[in-house]
Amino acid sequence: MRLVRSSLRAFELPVLAALTAASLHCSVAADDEAPTVDEEALGACAKPAPTSRAVYAKAHFGLTFYGPCNQSELATPGKANHFFDPRRPTLVYFHGWSKGEIARDKPRSFNARDTYPAAPDLDLVKAWRDRGWNFALMDWAQFADTAYETGRIGLVPAEQTYDRAERKIWAADDEGRLIYHLSDGTAHEHAAENVTQLLADSYVAFMRSQPSSGKEIRFFGHSLGTQLAITVAREVKRRADNDSRLSALAPVRVSLTDVTSSKCAHDWLPSPSPRRRGLTPIECLGEPSDGDWVSERLLDDVRDLKGASADTAFDAYRCWALSSSGIAADPESNLLPEMAFSELKPNTASLDVNQKHAFCAWNYLTSKVVAPPNVLASISEQRCDSFVRSGGVSAAASTATVRNAMTAGVRFDQTSASREISTAQSTVRCVAR
């Protein structure tokens, strides 16, 4: 493997060429207001968005803002971004494991139908922007794509598992290197200690350079990206604790779909928590460790972010049972009860795990365009009464509703009548946790 050393931080990378084309999108508007046309962004779906192979032919990671038609622009501190308006609230999406993404000959798409055929034909970036939000991707695909990894993780070829990508969230490799790849397969080394630090640097550097309006900042993570949504939020909070000027950058809410982390303890997570669990070597693929579990570190971070007054609201959604079954991943049994939790039941073939998993992210993003779910509750469950009135938890639900669900001791189970990604209002049942 030819290794090229780089000392660049994500926010020092060259900006993508200014985008001159994009279709109509909207200026600032409250969720219940009709959007208005942003004249400065007229005309811009005229040119096709670049393919992943073209984007990742050079170093390209960090905070990236999206507009309609898959157009995007990497955030650069101190410079205006075509798709960022500081007067809007901002959604920051952390993607997950990205095997094969950086060499794809298609653009990254935020139309759910491109990966989930049953979904409506809807540009989800435009849908959020039409409701007055900025839409950002926290791009770490060049670290999360394991297609060029070699060797084995226990019994599994390294390119077939997310373990190498997961480790980068927390630590460098055994030689102290943080490796990313370009789309031509060449390996490069980044100077950051881990991907959490790299992405926090990118986020803070850009956001602190922009005017602040105090609008909501929400982090959203899917699959392996749920770890980064939590760890980057924790890192931003730690920096804000030392510099009050950064307090407005901390996310008010963190939304998570199919929380995923590896089984067993890891040597690259030293100083295990007192709660540390242990599995036999055969269950851990022959790699026992005296280190900590990822889920235990995440639990500490979530509790730190929540604080005594639940400063950060957390809502979590599970669609793929294997993501927390104890078979393919850690069951996360201690983590999910800390959050407003919904169990979703996608109507897909029972063995189609990829579509079940994809359902969660697309369902969350689509749920912004409809009212929160209808809530059914048994007469005996008085704790559910407020949700029967306000609706369940979704992207469209208020942060106050999420906080209420965090403390009410309830969960929401999707009914059989609402198992498709749809722009129609869904139904959930409120039950005791």
Query: What is the pLDDT of the chain when averaged over all its residues?
Result: 83
Is this model's pTM higher than 0.85 or not? yes
**Nearest one of 400, 411, 257, 389 to 340, comparing CA atoms:** 411
Residue 117: the pLDDT is 74
DSSP assigned state of 384: G
State how far the Cα of 379 lies from the Cα of 30, in Å rounded to an integer: 35
- The string of pLDDT tens digits covering residues 347-402 is 755 566 777 788 889 889 999 999 999 999 876 778 899 999 999 999 999 999 99
Q: Convert the pLDDT of each residue in 63-84 to its tens digit.
A: 999 998 889 999 999 999 999 9
Closest CA to 177 of 190, 187, 195, 165: 190
pLDDT higher than 70, residue 406: yes
Tokens of residue 376, six digits:
């059914």
Per-domain boundaries in the chain = 3-372
Mean pLDDT (whole number) for 413-420: 75
- Report DSSP state, residue 37: B
Range 96-115 average pLDDT: 89
* Sequence letter at residue 171: A
Fold of 3-372: Rossmann fold (3.40.50)
- Tell me the per-residue pLDDT of 236-252, one tens digit each, with 9 for 90 and over: 999 999 999 899 999 99
**Whole-angstrom Cα distance, residue 223 to residue 101?**
15
Residues in Cβ contact with 40 at an 8 Å cutoff, skipping those fewer than 6 apart: none
As a whole-number percent, the residues of the chain with pLDDT over 70 amount to 80
pLDDT higher at 172 or 332 = 172
Q: What token pair was written down for 108?
A: 């990254």
Q: Identify the band that residue 22 occupies on the pLDDT scale cut at 50, 70 and 90.
A: very low
Mean pLDDT of 90-117: 90
Q: How confident is the model at residue 127 (pLDDT cuts 50, 70, 90)?
A: very high
